[in-house]
Amino acid sequence: MPSASKLPIALAAGDGIGPEIMEAVLAVFRAAGVLDHLEFVEAPMGERTFASGNTSGISDEAMEVVERTGLLFKGPMGTPVGGGGKSINVTLRKTFSAFANLRHFQSLPGVETVFSKAGVPVDFYVVRENIEDTYGGIEHRLTNDVVECKRLISAPGCDQVHRFAFETAARLGIDRVTCSHKANIMKMTDGLFLERFRHVAADHPSIEIHDVIIDALCMNLVLRPDAYQMIVLPNLQGDIVSDLAAGLVGGLGFAPSANIGDSVAIFEAVHGTAPDIAGKGVANPTSLLLSGLIMLRHIGLAKQAAIINNALLATLEDGIHTGDVKGDKPPVETMAFAEAIASNLGRMPTSCPPRVVGTHDTVEHTSPPRPTSYRLRRTFETTVSHLCGADLYVGTTLPPFELAAKLQAICEGGPFKLTLLSNRGTQVWPSGSVYTEVVDYCRARFELKDPAMLGRLGQMPAVKLLEKVAEKFEVADFQPLKTFDGKPGFSLAQGQ
């Protein structure tokens, strides 16, 4: 059982090189006196748990330990290829509502990159929304030829990650936060993400805000990474940008990661398990160590984190490195690298700004009480919605004009009229181009014939329309259309 005088933290060493780099990091922690304050409790998860038949890869024991401690320190985890096993990293973040992924990308001494050669400093943070977006993994095969992935973005989810970004920026002394998005195309999902960014920004008037389309951001990061301090993004875009950013500072081996929620925080190395070098004692523990330093700051041990961070910088400055880093000196093994860091505790780097060693050296973390039930989050509580139509997604190989004629006949006599057919998001009826290629999955949009009926119909007329169409066609999906405070809650088709 954990000591009453020490803070318990769930520990999962990981797969492949995980146990080796975790051992190295704990050795540094021990030398710095960190383990006088912490007690790590094993949380079994990973390849062995998958092999036991548990398709989540996370044991019941691990779930209990993480819920009890509210903190998890983990190495890289493998996900089985095939067999339906899901990513442990994603499962943990979503299960424990660790909604904000925080990563720091910083040039390190002794780590040669294009930018270090050019004298361009890289030092910025990425805050990635962790729960929603396409990472919901909600996928269906709809027809012979078409599969879908639902992209869900919620206002409460946006608010959580944006608040975290601004509060973290204020704490770190960052005075400019950039929201990246694709709201020029995905006007409702990314549009909501951008709208809530601006809304939350109003509570932080001292922080300058910008927004940039995701493709432009990627180009800008490659050209001028020093132009950014903190970037906040939706989940999938944030995942891609995080790996791009890691490449700017030498790779994922130098990119720490923290996943922060209201109740649980997860600190992890996000690089692979590197099975080709597992057991050889040559892996680089830097990413996991830097992730551990974010954890130490999170729980109040900022002084210890700064001392270790300066020792790491001094070690790299001395040219001591593992085999994945180019250098003038021969590479050292994993534990030798950790021992070098431990021997440099108390030293300051000279070629880069050192971390300020403050006085916060005691644990200030208290695990929150366990929720009694699932927590419902709402943002727009007074919004009024009215049914105004329905989108029916039909599996068919009929030409658009022939399909339209049949659907118009079906809805005669009812409150709805056919207003649009689209295929893969592009309008093909009542107007369009024969150059638009189509597949066997077509959206049919039905809207109210009489706008005066808005607010006077419930959902059943749309359901009855669905029944009628389903008698003649294979309906792959059904989506009621609504207005929200008088504004359409649905997008136009391309070309509409």
Q: Is the pLDDT of residue 2 over 60?
A: no
The distance from CA 313 to its chain's CA centroid, rounded to whole angstroms, is 28
Q: What does the pLDDT read at residue 247?
A: 95
Judged against a pLDDT cut of 70, whether residue 221 lies above it is answered with yes
Is the pLDDT assigned to residue 4 strictly greater than 70? no
State residue 401's pLDDT score. 96
Residue 202 has pLDDT above 50, yes or no: yes
Q: Name residue, tokens 């059904």.
A: 478
User: Residue for token digits 């962790």?
Assistant: 130
pLDDT tens by residue, 281-301:
999 999 999 999 999 999 999
Please tell me the predicted confidence (pLDDT) of residue 358. 82
Position 82 confidence tier, pLDDT thresholds 50, 70, 90: low
Burial of 374 (0-12, 13-18, 19+ CB in 10 A): exposed
In angstroms, the first-to-last Cα distance of the chain is 64
pLDDT band at 81 (very low <50, low <70, confident <90, very high): low
CATH architecture assigned to 385-488: 2-Layer Sandwich (3.30)
**Spatial separation of the C-alpha atoms in residues 422 and 161, rounded to whole Å:** 34
Query: What's the pTM value of the predicted model, to 2 decimals?
Result: 0.93
Q: Where in the chain is the domain with CATH 3.40.718.10?
A: 7-343
CA atoms within 13 A on the CB side of 191: 8
> How high does pLDDT run on average in the chain?
94
- Model confidence at 84, pLDDT cuts 50, 70, 90, reads low
| Segments of the chain assigned to CATH 3.30.70.1570 | 385-488
Q: Which residues of 247-275 are buried (b: 16+ CB within 10 A; e: fewer)?
A: ebbbbbbbbbbbbbbebbbbbbbbbebbe
Tell me the per-residue pLDDT of 319-357, one tens digit each, with 9 for 90 and over.
Answer: 999 999 888 899 999 999 999 999 999 999 999 889 988
Helices in 253-384 by DSSP H: which ranges? 286-298, 302-317, 334-343
Q: What is the pLDDT of residue 85?
A: 64
Sign of the torsion angle spanned by Cα atoms 452, 455, 456, 459: positive
H or E element at residue 26: helix 18-31
* Residue 396: count of CB within 10 angstroms of its CB: 22
Furthest-apart CA atoms within the chain: distance in Å? 84
Give the residue-averaged pLDDT of 10-26.
97
Assess whether pLDDT exceeds 60 at residue 196: yes
Q: What is the pLDDT of residue 87?
A: 83
Separation between Cα atoms, residue 471 and residue 456, nearest integer Å: 26
Question: Which CATH architecture is the domain 7-343 placed in?
Answer: 3-Layer(aba) Sandwich (3.40)
- Res 1: pLDDT: 46
Say which range, 171-185, 230-244, 368-382, has the weakest mean pLDDT: 368-382
Reported as half-sphere exposure (CB side, CA atoms, 13 A), residue 56 has a value of 14
